[in-house]
């Protein structure tokens, strides 16, 4: 009953806005649209009838919008590469092309799709258009508060990325001598005085108990700056870091480490990866 009520409310809203859209006089298209509403619970039939309606009457903005909503809500995930979202975008774009004010929600969906496709300038414009309806005095729609909140956040993100991509800067990273070796090093972090670099080094190592060949080992390492400004190759951190059987990585002061506890290291069956923090202190063995 609630679903039917929501559909009825939506149709009333669409009909109110449709007064500003091209008038539909094609009787066959109108009949197909009415039949679609009657078959709303049968989604496939509902969409098929709407498809026929827009084929008969290409200016049927409300039918395009109904198709857009139907395809949008059929997908319960946020996988915007999926076919249903692409179809929703297609019909929403057709709807607002015929009648720009047919449904504010169309701009929200188009904005999401533009954002997904890294068209940040277009996405920002669509989010602004969507948000502008909340400020209008002649509100035909009750906009969803969650959509409004999301659009505000997305708009800020899109403006930021649009500005960044429009102003490229030189970027030519080069490997750090000594620290960068033939194996993998990552999660590098410098201390504020630029004297010590903490990083994770991953290697493949054979063990006596290994039945399937070398196993992967991640060790939390540190490299010290030399007099000439370079860094040494780096060594694994001493106790209490790099416990036997664990894979470890970390980040500077306060030191954040994430040991992956591997009681059965050979089978890679981890119990847990836990985040720990620690601060520097003077100790007699294994100083940070």
- Among 109, 133, 166, the domain boundary falls at 166
Asked whether residue 132 falls in the same domain as residue 55, the answer is yes
pLDDT of residue 257: 62
Asked whether residue 120 falls in the same domain as residue 148, the answer is yes
Start-to-end Cα distance in the chain: 65
Cβ contacts of residue 149 below 8 Å, gap of 6+? none
Residue 284 lies in a domain: no
Asked whether residue 158 falls in the same domain as residue 208, the answer is no
The 8-class DSSP code of residue 143 comes to -
Residue 25 lies in a domain: yes
Write out the chain's pLDDT in tens, 288 residues: 443 434 444 444 445 455 578 888 999 999 999 999 998 888 888 999 999 999 999 999 999 999 999 999 887 666 677 788 899 999 999 999 999 999 999 999 999 999 999 999 999 999 999 999 987 755 666 788 999 999 999 999 999 999 999 998 898 989 999 999 999 999 899 988 999 999 999 998 877 766 677 888 888 999 999 999 999 999 998 888 887 766 666 554 556 666 665 554 444 444 455 566 666 554 444 445
CA distances from 206 to 209, 210, 213, 217 (A): 9, 7, 6, 10
Strand order through the sheet with 184-190: 184-190, 196-205, 215-224, 235-236
The boundaries of the domain holding residue 106 are 2-166
pLDDT of residue 73: 86
pLDDT of residue 158: 97
pLDDT of residue 4: 41
Asked whether residue 226 falls in the same domain as residue 96, the answer is no
The 8-class DSSP code of residue 40 comes to T
Residue 34 lies in a domain: yes
Asked whether residue 204 falls in the same domain as residue 234, the answer is yes
Q: Which residues pair with 217 in a beta bridge?
A: 203
CA distances from 126 to 54, 130, 170, 226, 231 (A): 24, 6, 31, 53, 49
CA–CA dist 122, 149 (Å, integer):
19
Asked whether residue 213 falls in the same domain as residue 160, the answer is no
pLDDT of residue 13: 46
Asked whether residue 134 falls in the same domain as residue 251, the answer is no
The domain total for the chain is 2
Asked whether residue 81 falls in the same domain as residue 217, the answer is no
pLDDT of residue 80: 72
Is pTM beyond 0.75 here? no
């Amino acid at each position: 009953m609630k679903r039917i009520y929501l559909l009825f409310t939506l149709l009333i809203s669409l009909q109110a806005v449709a007064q500003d859209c091209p008038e539909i006089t094609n009787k066959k298209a109108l009949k197909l649209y009415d039949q679609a509403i009657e078959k709303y619970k049968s989604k496939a039939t509902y969409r098929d009838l709407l498809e026929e309606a827009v084929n008969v009457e290409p200016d049927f903005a409300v039918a395009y919008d109904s198709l857009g909503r139907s395809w949008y809500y059929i997908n319960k995930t946020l996988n915007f590469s999926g076919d249903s979202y692409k179809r929703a975008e297609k019909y929403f774009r057709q709807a607002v092309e015929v009648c720009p004010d047919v449904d504010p929600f169309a701009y929200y969906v188009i904005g999401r799709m533009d954002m997904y496709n890294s068209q940040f300038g277009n996405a920002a414009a669509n989010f602004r258009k969507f948000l502008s309806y909340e400020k209008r005095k002649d509100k035909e729609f009750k906009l969803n508060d969650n959509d409004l909140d999301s659009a505000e956040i997305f708009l800020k993100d899109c403006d930021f990325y649009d500005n960044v991509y429009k102003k490229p800067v030189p970027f030519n990273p080069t490997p750090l001598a000594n620290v960068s070796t033939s194996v993998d090093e990552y999660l590098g972090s410098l201390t504020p005085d630029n004297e010590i670099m903490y990083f994770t080094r991953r290697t493949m190592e054979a063990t006596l108990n290994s039945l399937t060949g070398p196993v992967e080992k991640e060790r939390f390492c540190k490299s010290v700056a030399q007099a000439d400004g370079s860094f040494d190759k780096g060594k694994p951190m001493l106790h209490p870091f790099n416990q036997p059987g664990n894979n470890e990585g970390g980040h500077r002061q306060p030191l954040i480490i994430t040991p992956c506890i591997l009681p059965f290291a050979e089978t890679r069956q981890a119990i847990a990866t836990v985040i720990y923090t620690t601060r520097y202190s003077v100790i007699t063995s294994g100083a940070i």
